[in-house]
């Protein structure tokens, strides 16, 4: 878990997204080509592989914040909508996208539902932890090799 937090999160997300796509652990839904990622966005995502990138980001967020649910992730991935001459306003991200990604990650065995006291939500399984840790360790070894 500590390796996940020490490496560059952007690079980690890219590598995890490639791994999720390669192993077919998540699949974009049929409607994912046509949707915005939230009310605060004006356009569709530019990257055609955005579903895998968002899945990797959700997986890392579950590792960092878990137990976590859809509402907390909606807030995390939300943003400010600029409303012309009116003041900007914060809007949450799309719940459907995050819900489907969480369901797919759960189906592939990377996360599971749990309850810790009053907090209930999803946490990483050992399989999910090992996937993230393996990639993070490879990255830290590469960074160490590059710095010498």
Q: What is the pLDDT of residues 5-14, one digit of tens each?
A: 778 888 888 8
* pLDDT above 60 (res 1): no
Calculate mean pLDDT across residues 31-49.
85
Calculate mean pLDDT across residues 65-72.
87
Instruction: Give the total number of structural domains in the chain.
Output: 1
Closest CA to 129 of 70, 73, 52, 66: 66
Calculate mean pLDDT across residues 100-126.
86
Residue 38 is predicted with a pLDDT of: 86
Q: What is the CATH number of the domain that holds 86?
A: 1.10.10.10
What is the extent of the structural domain holding 76? 2-141
Element (H, E) at 95: helix 95-107
Average pLDDT, the chain: 86
Residue 94 lies in a domain: yes
* pLDDT above 90 (res 90): yes
Give the C-alpha distances (Å, rounded to integers) separating 42 from 12, 49, 82.
27, 18, 10
Q: What's the pTM value of the predicted model, to 2 decimals?
A: 0.86
Residue 42 lies in a domain: yes
For residue 33, the SS3 value is helix
Residue 2 is predicted with a pLDDT of: 61
Residue 147 lies in a domain: no
Calculate mean pLDDT across residues 118-145.
83
């Amino acid at each position: 878990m500590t390796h996940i937090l020490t490496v560059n999160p952007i690079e980690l997300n890219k590598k995890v997204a490639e791994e999720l796509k390669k192993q077919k652990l998540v699949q974009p839904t049929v409607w994912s080509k046509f949707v915005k990622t939230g009310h605060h966005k004006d356009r569709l995502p530019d990257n055609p592989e955005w579903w895998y990138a968002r899945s990797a980001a959700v997986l890392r967020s579950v590792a960092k914040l878990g137990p976590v649910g859809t509402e907390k992730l909606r807030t995390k991935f939300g943003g400010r909508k600029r409303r012309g001459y009116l003041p900007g306003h914060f809007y949450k991200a799309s719940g459907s996208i995050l819900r489907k990604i969480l369901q797919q990650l759960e189906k592939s065995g990377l996360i599971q539902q749990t309850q810790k006291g009053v907090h209930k939500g999803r946490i990483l399984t050992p399989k999910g932890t090992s996937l993230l840790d393996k990639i993070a360790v490879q990255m830290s070894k590469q960074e160490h090799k590059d710095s010498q």
